[in-house]
Amino acid sequence: MSALDQVGSISRPSLHEELTDRLRSMIVEGVLTAGEKVPERALCEKLGVSRTPMREALKVLASDGLLTLEPNRGARVRAITVQELEEVFPLMGAFESLAGELACAQISDAQIKELKRVHEKMLTRYEASDMPGYFKHNQRIHELIMEAAGNRTLITMYNSLAVRVRQARYLANMSAERWKQAVDEHESIIQALEARDGKALSAILKKHLENKFAAVRQWIEDQEP
Amino acid sequence: MSALDQVGSISRPSLHEELTDRLRSMIVEGVLTAGEKVPERALCEKLGVSRTPMREALKVLASDGLLTLEPNRGARVRAITVQELEEVFPLMGAFESLAGELACAQISDAQIKELKRVHEKMLTRYEASDMPGYFKHNQRIHELIMEAAGNRTLITMYNSLAVRVRQARYLANMSAERWKQAVDEHESIIQALEARDGKALSAILKKHLENKFAAVRQWIEDQEP
DNA sequence: TAAATTAATAATGAATGCAAAATGCAAATT
DNA sequence: AATTTGCATTTTGCATTCATTATTAATTTA
């Protein structure tokens, strides 16, 4: 075995890949807001690239459901509709549920420890009423469970939905009760994981998401009376 | 309201869309086989298009997981690995299971009738030992259940997995017993649907897929000893 | 003046061109 | 003879250009 075998090949992501990632972030972070036109030319100039890779990126994001391409009329940021949200949540529920079962079957002690660590941090943020901080750790916990499930296809599909839900920031608003409830649910999640009780965790995660959805739905109904 | 308002606008799908569909079919139908390089230029000439829309299509298919793009080295048809298959099947199980529950909750009598019709046709094909014909109707039945679930997002995600599984034609080989078993399972599926028993259907569909997977896994093990 | 038609402008879809990278091959070296 | 090195060819990534379709502005006409 030569010393060179240790050296990994350098990966230089192509322009269109960087662009897809960049644009995806811009959409999720709300720099490009829902319904907004995506002016090809302007974006190209802003980011200093030509139209070819930009258009390639737009096609990919459209196939991911983040944009709509109206022929000869360009791209628009696709706003997730209430109807779509009602479609997406059961799916995410199924994903989380599956992830829970898979995770319990093979999660390591180290992974559980890490989860508890993040969970504790999240609690601190909750007690400090720091919602953004809370969400950050909250998201990380769900990511860790997905990772523990050890199914890359599952992660990919889950993320593609999560992105679209996150894009519509229904979640920024949460009542005090709902927040308390969510924290309690997370407590049970950790417990089920420690016990490696797949069925229980699966059910809790599904319920957790259903409650989240109920809160979102409530929020929507309050918004558009 | 003028008479012209009745006339729908001609939808001329853009070239890259047609190309993505075309290439997707070529992959699923095995015209482009797994592992094979996809020579941009040659394909362009064959299909009479320029490289731009072709490259856009390739990017989309890559993001769908049907191709891999090695930078500066072009596209290859991505062969689904055994590991990936093991990832995909639980997911499809979750999808089918969810579809079953949703379908039972809202399927119409007309839809059930249609399902039974296709089911009967499928039985005829089984009795005639016509496997391709059987598969065609089999696939249609699962499509109809998905449609009855009335969740477009679910359908989209399910299809994107189904395509990748279908591409690897593990299914063409099926033992007589397995075939018999599959037919019996389909019998139960129809019954559960008629009874609109969501839980039961959900369980049957999941089991149905698990058995299918077991058969596929068996086939793989026989292939590479 | 307001509606409608036409002209001008801008944006998109697709094709071509060019530079960089990879591949294939033959000569050269060990 | 086998491996390496240099060179030509091919292929890819991206930019640019051309053509077509929308959008806007201007003009005409009722």
Q: Which of residues 37-56 of B touch A (CB under 8 A)?
A: 52, 55-56
Write down the pLDDT at residue A4. 45
**Mean of the pLDDT values across residues A159-170?**
89
Strand C contact at CB of residue A14, distance < 7 A: no
Asked if B94 and A90 come within 8 Å (Cβ–Cβ), the reply is: no
Convert the pLDDT of each residue in B14-66 to its tens digit. Answer: 899 999 999 999 999 999 999 999 989 999 999 999 999 999 999 999 999 99
User: Closest Cα to residue B78, out of B117, B33, B124?
Assistant: B33
Interchain CB contact of A102 with B (< 8 Å): yes
Please compute, for residue B79, the number of CA atoms within 13 A of its CA located in the half-sphere on the CB side: 9
* D chain positions with any atom within 7 Å of a protein CB: 11-17, 20-23
B16 C-beta less than 7 Å away from strand C? yes
CB proximity B210 to A under 8 Å: no
Instruction: Compute CA distances B14 → A71, B47, B75, B184, B198, whole Å.
Output: 7, 15, 22, 44, 41
Q: What confidence score (pLDDT) does residue A121 get?
A: 98
Q: Report the relative pairing of strands A74-77 and B37-38 from DSSP bridges.
A: unpaired
Query: What's the pLDDT at A219?
Result: 87
pLDDT digits (tens, 9 = 90+) for A25-76: 999 999 999 999 999 999 999 999 999 999 999 999 999 999 999 999 999 9
Query: What's the confidence (pLDDT) of residue B10?
Result: 45
Question: In Å, how far is A9's CA from the nearest CA of chain B?
Answer: 12
Q: Is B14 on the interface with A (CB under 8 A)?
A: yes
Nearest to A59 among B56, B69, B71 (CB): B56
Q: Which of B11, B56, B151 sits opposite A56 (nearest CB)?
A: B56
Which letter, b or e, does each residue of B6-19 get, where b requires 16 or more Cβ atoms within 10 Å of its Cβ? Answer: eeeeeeeeebbbeb
Q: Which of A11, A15, A51, A63 to mutate to test the interface with B (most CBs of B within 10 A)?
A: A63
Question: Which pLDDT value is given to residue A223?
Answer: 81
Q: Could you give all domains of chain B from N- to C-terminal order, each with its CATH number?
A: 15-77 (1.10.10.10), 82-223 (1.20.120.530)
The reply to whether residue A59 touches residue B64, judged by beta carbons under 8 angstroms, is no
Interface test with A, best of B56, B68, B158 (most A CBs within 10 A): B56
In angstroms, the first-to-last Cα distance of chain B is 70
8 Å CB contact of B90 and A161: no
Closest residue in A to B60 (Cα–Cα):
A60
Q: What is the pLDDT of residue A170?
A: 80
Q: What is the pLDDT of residue B11?
A: 52
Contact yes or no for B88/B164 (Cβ under 8 A): yes
Q: Other CB atoms closer than 10 Å to residue A196's CB: what's the count?
A: 14
Q: B9: which chain A residues are within 8 Å (Cβ-Cβ)? A: none
Cβ pair B95:A90 closer than 8 A: no
| Nucleotides in chain C with any atom closer than 7 Å to protein CB | 11-17, 21-23
Q: Note whether B94 contacts A: Cβ–Cβ < 8 A.
A: yes
Distance CA A20, CA B64 (A): 14
Contact B154 A52 (CB under 8 A): no
Share of chain A above pLDDT 90, in %: 83
For B63-75, write each residue's pLDDT tens digit.
999 999 999 999 9
Residues of A in contact with B162 (CB under 8 A): none
**Across B141-161, average pLDDT:** 97
* CA proximity to B106, closest of B201, B30, B42: B201
- Using C1' positions and the CA of B53, the closest nucleotide is C14
Which of residues 189 through 208 in chain A touch B, CB cutoff 8 A? none
Q: B98 and A91 in contact by Cβ < 8 A?
A: yes
Question: What Å distances lie between residue A118 and A46, A115, A121, A194, A197, CA to CA?
Answer: 38, 5, 5, 14, 20
Q: Which residue is nearest to nucleotide D16 (CA to C1')?
A: A50
